[in-house]
Structure formats: C-alpha cells, structure tokens
Structure 1
Amino acid sequence: MTATVSTIDTQLHGQIRWDYREEKTRVYSLYELAKSKVWKTSEAPWEALVDHSLPPSRHQFEPLAGFAPFDALPSSRRIDCSWYRHGLEISDILHGEQGALLVSSQLVSCMPDIEAKLFASSQVSDEARHVEFFSRYLLEVVGDVHPPSDAVAALIKAMVNDPRWDYKFIACQILIESLALARLQDIRRATLVPVLAHAIDFISADEARHVKFGTEILRRHLASLNASELQTRSDFVVDHLLGLADAMNIYTRIANEFDWDVRALRFHLRQNRIRQPQPRHDLFRQLMLNMNSVGLLTPQTERRLSGLA
C-alpha cells in the first residue's frame, strides 16, 4: 500500500524586518495585482455536467492514439484509458501544487524585505486555491487522486527540506512554475471539461505572476554569485528536470495498468514527439526563457537543455 503521509524535517534561516519604510518596487506592484486577481474555486462551473462516456480531451491531443494496443481496445475501454491517463496527469499537477504551497509558506520567513514577504504570502493563498481546485476536481470529476510519481515526491521533499532559501526559490519559482505554465496551457488546448478549462485560465495567470516575482528576486540575488556558485544552482535545475523525465512521462504506469509492453509504448511516444514536437518544445522553451531571465542559463546548461529539447 502506498504511504499517504511523508514527513519533512527542515531548518529555515529567515529574517524579521522591523523597518517598514521601504521604497516600493515592482514586487509591491505584483502584490497589489495579486490582491485584485483573487478568484474563488467555488465559482467555477462545477454544475456543468461531465459526460464520462466521452474522453476528457480532444482526439487530436490523445498521445496514445495510433498505438496498436490502445486502438484495439473497445471504444468504452479506450475512453476509460484516457480518463486514467488524465487522472495520473492531473494528480502529479496537484502534488506539485502542494509542494509549491509548502515552499511558498516557508519563503514568507526567508524573504529579505517586507514587500517580498507580502507577495510570498499572496502566493501561499494562490497555491492553496490551486490545491483546493485540483483535489476537488480529481475527487468529484475524475474520481480518484493517484499517488505522486517517485520523482515528483523526491523533488517536493528536496525543496521543502533544503535549508537554503535560494534553492527553494529556484525549484519552486523557476522549475515547477515554468513546467506548470507550459503543461497547463497544453491541457487547456486539449480539454473538453468546462470546469477545468475555466480554472486553468485563472491558475495560469497566478503562475505567471509567481514567475515574475521569482524573476525579480532571483535576478538580483544570482547576480551577486560567482560563476561556480551560479553553475551549481543551474545544474540543480537540470538535474531535477532529468529526474522528472519519468514523472512527465506517466505512460509507464499506464502500460503496467493495461498490461502493455512498456518499450513498445515508449517507442510509440518517441515517434509521436517527432511528429508533434511543439508541446515538448514549448515545455523546454518556457523553462529556458525563465532561466535566462534570472541568469541561470549558462552556456553549459544551455547545451544540456538543447540536447533534451
């Protein structure tokens, strides 16, 4: 049986600021924007009926289409498989959102000035809303929440347990938020579920605001580091990205569930990526843009990422 609880043990090195007379910067503007953009999950169109006799995504976005064992399934079983794939995908997004919730709550203490603490507190509220939405969506619409893949669980534990605020910040604001932005837009284009489409529009706006906050804070901090320190942090991002490769490719779990040959399915998916390279390109492009904006895209790292894309 999969464990439903994991323990964390971390030591935070934060700051308490007693001087509130600070010059207002772009970070404060982002905080003001965050306050004006609060939305409620309860106002999403939950009443819109979801027909489970139809797949959750448009057929042209189904990556399993063209794989002989999938195509050979009866129509109802193919739809079940699509919903199972969708549930795995959204479950990992949910777990990532909880990781961002935990880390952003820690960052309130770690941030160097008051306005950064204020924005970090608004991000805690945003991430809580995302966890609320995706957990309700999985339980009420999809039917179940799946455990996190090993790589997703490992990244979340590493973020939460790391005592270094900038590593937490890089993992949360650059790695997870960048991947989430790209993946959510991919799902938004494909989904046939009204409540999911509605929420993704709001969640994506929240995530974009978090990335802008991360860019503002990290650009100043990383500029103070030497080349070796910068490369270490850059490698941290890419190493975890490589670890997430299996998590982003949830199809091994699908193959095991449907008793398919894993190697044959992986070959099909590689061919599918060759035929439709845009989603993967968008994923890495978003990450590379955000890494470049804060100074983490070193020549060495750019070569590593270009090989992956």
Structure 2
Amino acid sequence: MDNSKIARPRLERMLNGMPLKMQNKVTQVLENISLVAEIRDPKVGISMLPSAYRGLWQKKGKSEDGVLMKSGHPVHFDLNYGSDFPEMYDLYRRAVANQWDGEWQLDWSTQVDPMNPEVPILGSTPFIPFDDLEAEGIKLSAREKQELTYHFSAWMLSQFMHGEQGALYASAQCTESVKWVDAKLYGATQVMDEGRHLEVFLRYLETKLERMYKVNDNLFVIIDDLLTDSRWDIKFLGMQIMVEGLALGAFSTMYNQTGEPLLKNLLRYVIQDEARHVHYGVLALREHFTKNLSGTELREREDWAFEVAMLMRNRFFAHEIYDEWFAHKLSRATWNRLMSESPAMTKFRSIMFQRLVPNLQYIGLLSPRMESYYEKAGLMAYVGGKNASELTEQDLLRDNDKLAEQAMKDARNAA
C-alpha cells in the first residue's frame, strides 16, 4: 500500500485545523522540501541545493535589491580563428540581418489601458479560475475580475523581464566559454538581443502597465543555478534549451491571446529572436551530448533537465498573485490545486512544453530511462514534434498568427 496516500488525508486534516496563515506557512515549507526531496540524482540535488536555499528559503529574489552570484566558469580564448561550424555561422548571419531597435520600431506613443476590456492585455480565456474561486466562496465583481486580470498580465510580463535579465548574463557567459569561433560570433548577437528584450519589457511594464512584480522563487532558483554552475554545457542547456525553450512557448501564448497592439508587436519581435536562440542551443549541444560525454555525465544532465522542467512548470502557480489577493481568504494548497486544474493554465503549459520536449529529444536527453518520468509528468505527448533546427522564425510567427486569428474568432463567438 502507498503510504503517501494514507499520509496525505492526515496532513490535510492537520492543516485544516490550523489558522489560515499558519496553514500557508506549513504548505510552503512542505513544497520546498518536496521539491528538493524529489530530485533523484544525488549529484543534481547537491548542485542545486545552494540555489534552492537562496531562492526558496532565503528568498533572495524578493528580499534584496541585488544578488551577488559567483560563477567561476572557464573562458575559452580561441587562437586559431577557424570557421569550423558552418551551420552556426549561417545562424549568425541571420541574426545580424534581423537585428531591430525597440526605440524606433515599436510605437511607444500607443495608449495602453490595462482596464479596457475592448483592448485586452490577455484574451477572453481567463488564466485565473474565477468560477472555481467562487465555488470556494470568493466572489469577485466584474471590476475586480478585470483588475485581477491586469495584475496577472503584469505578473507574467514581470517574469518574462526577469528571465531576460538572466538570459543576458547567461548568454554573455556562454559566449566566453563556448569553444567555436562561429558560436562566439552568434553568441555576441544574442547578448545584444537579450539586452534589447530586457529594455522593452522593462519599458512596457514601467510606462504602460505601471506595475511590476518581484522575481518568482522557482525562476530565481533556475537562474541562480545556471549562472553559478562552472560547466559551459549546463549553462547552454539551462538557458538556451530550458529557459529560452519554455519562454518561447510562453511568449507565443501571450502573443496569441493579447489584443493590445503595442504588446503584440513587441512579442512578435521577441519571438523572432528567441527562435534563433533555441536553435543555437540545439546546434551547440547535440554533438557534445551524443559524442563527448560519459554515461554518468549524460545521466546527470538528463536528470538536471527534468528537474528544471518541473521547476518551470511549478513557476506558473503565480504565488505572487496569490499572496497579494487571496492569502487571507484561501489556503495556498487550494490555490495550487485550482491553478493546476485551470483550463487556460493547462493550455499555457501545453504550449510551453510542446517547444521544449522535442529539443530535449533531439539533443539526446530523452533516453528510455527518462521516458517514465516525462510520462508521469504528462509531457510525453510532445515527443516527435519539430525541434528548433526544423523551425525558422517565419514558421513560428506564421503558426502564431494562425493561432491568434483563431483566438480572436473564439472571443467574438463567445461574446
């Protein structure tokens, strides 16, 4: 008999007997413990523990204005200057040809009213499960629902912005540590891309939404872990495949949902760049993972990728929104369940992972050993999809335009 199935009702009964504030504190501690305890590979657990401690227990991302992260990665200075990676050089030329300027190519004179339902920041499908909240006794007026949707939009875009700052630093580190000159040339274009992304998300939050949220704890753990890891391929895997791959799905979801023209155009430019960034990652890592690593090293990277995928999935419980709106009305455990089961959030996670899983498969990190873990997490459905080397920027934008058009039709039909 599964002892966890017996223990869970007992725990729920114990929590229900506590004041709500204490319930939430206990639930949060148990979440943090379970997150670390579920890491199967001891090496992965040990390597991630300092970042988990800083992010989940010390909450460095929320308690300080800046965090010092010591990286200590080796720098590869090439003295041969040979052009020995033609695919990477082609990607570099594409990146140079598609640079853009957020100051001049985005219309910042656009008036944005996040409370205007006629021009929604997010579409008609609510990410917040309003009906389920009402079933729990929390009734919101139409005005409150609109305001909560506005805050959730600001929360999502804030996490995008924090991720872009992490990507800026990680791409600079990758450019230093990668060994191919062609990859260094491309890496330099990505550093510029990430700086521009940070600029435009920050400007949109400050001048249009006038609201910003602190970095999510799970996202902070991932950024801290990959920036402080000395291994170049872990930096590539963490940023180029995991964070950038999932971000591509997240950006696409918001692009398909939004009716606000400035944000839609901003996301269109960002998606174009992100497609190249993930392509960069699969080019750099495929041969390295399939030919240069020992079995033990490869298994460690397989486990690391899976644990980061779970962290990223849990990131979208939006605890920052919960703390602001519902911590005094609803238990954290109930909020987690409602957000897990929300149709919009389920679809959101689906789009995110449909971009990630084929890339993990392509670079050799989805071995038969890992399939049961991805199956249990509900992610095997995305195996066999197109990986980043098979998708151009134009492919992604064309697919997103089709999805956005369908979302608008659905919204009109619902109205």
So what's the TM-score if we normalise by structure 2? 0.70
Q: Which amino acid aligns with 1:32?
A: R
Of 334, 348, 360, the match for 1:291: 360
Which segment is superposed worse, 294-303 or 277-286? 277-286
Partner of 1:110: 177
Q: How far apart are the structure 1 equivalents of 2:184 and 2:338?
A: 47
Partner of 2:158: 91
- For the pair 1:46 / 2:108, whether they are aligned, the reply is yes
Once the two structures are TM-superposed, the CA of residue 108 in structure 1 deviates from its matched residue by 1.4
Please, which runs of 5 or more residues in structure 2 have no aligned partner? 1-61, 379-415
Query: Moved runs in structure 1, 4+ residues, more than 4 A?
Result: none
Once the two structures are TM-superposed, the CA of residue 303 in structure 1 deviates from its matched residue by 2.1
- For the pair 1:8 / 2:78, whether they are aligned, the reply is no
Please list the CA deviations of residues 25-63 of structure 1 after superposition, one character each: whole Å capped at 9, or x if unmatched: 110000000000011111212222112332521222443
Once the two structures are TM-superposed, the CA of residue 71 in structure 1 deviates from its matched residue by 7.7
Which is greater in Rg? 2
Partner of 1:216: 283
Q: How far apart are the structure 2 equivalents of 1:235 and 1:190?
A: 33
Give secondary structure in 2 for the equivalent of 1:73.
coil
- For the pair 1:248 / 2:310, whether they are aligned, the reply is no
Partner of 1:128: 195
Change beyond 3 A, Cα 1:37–1:47 = same
Once the two structures are TM-superposed, the CA of residue 220 in structure 1 deviates from its matched residue by 1.3
Partner of 1:235: 303
Q: Which amino acid aligns with 1:287?
A: L
Q: What's the % identity of the aligned pairs?
A: 25
Q: How far apart are the structure 1 equivalents of 2:323 and 2:175?
A: 41
Partner of 2:122: 57
Partner of 1:32: 93
Once the two structures are TM-superposed, the CA of residue 307 in structure 1 deviates from its matched residue by 1.7
Please list the CA deviations of residues 251-280 of structure 1 after superposition, one character each: whole Å capped at 9, or x if unmatched: x3323222341344333333334x885432
Matching of residues 130-169 of structure 1 within 5 Å: 130-169=197-236
Change beyond 3 A, Cα 1:46–1:67 = farther
Please, which runs of 5 or more residues in structure 1 have no aligned partner? none
Aligned-CA RMSD value: 2.0
Q: How far apart are the structure 2 equivalents of 1:171 and 1:71?
A: 39
Which segment is superposed worse, 27-36 or 210-219? 210-219
Q: How far apart are the structure 1 equivalents of 2:260 and 2:349?
A: 23
Change beyond 3 A, Cα 1:245–1:60 = closer
CA contact (8 A) 2:127 2:342 kept: no
The aligned length equals 307
CA contact (8 A) 2:216 2:320 kept: no
CA contact (8 A) 2:154 2:212 kept: yes
Q: How far apart are the structure 2 equivalents of 1:67 and 1:195?
A: 32
CA contact (8 A) 1:2 1:147 kept: no
Please list the CA deviations of residues 99-147 of structure 1 after superposition, one character each: whole Å capped at 9, or x if unmatched: 1110110111111121111001110001111100111111111112211
Change beyond 3 A, Cα 1:154–1:271 = closer
So what's the TM-score if we normalise by structure 1? 0.93
Change beyond 3 A, Cα 1:300–1:63 = farther
Once the two structures are TM-superposed, the CA of residue 249 in structure 1 deviates from its matched residue by 1.5
CA contact (8 A) 1:56 1:191 kept: yes
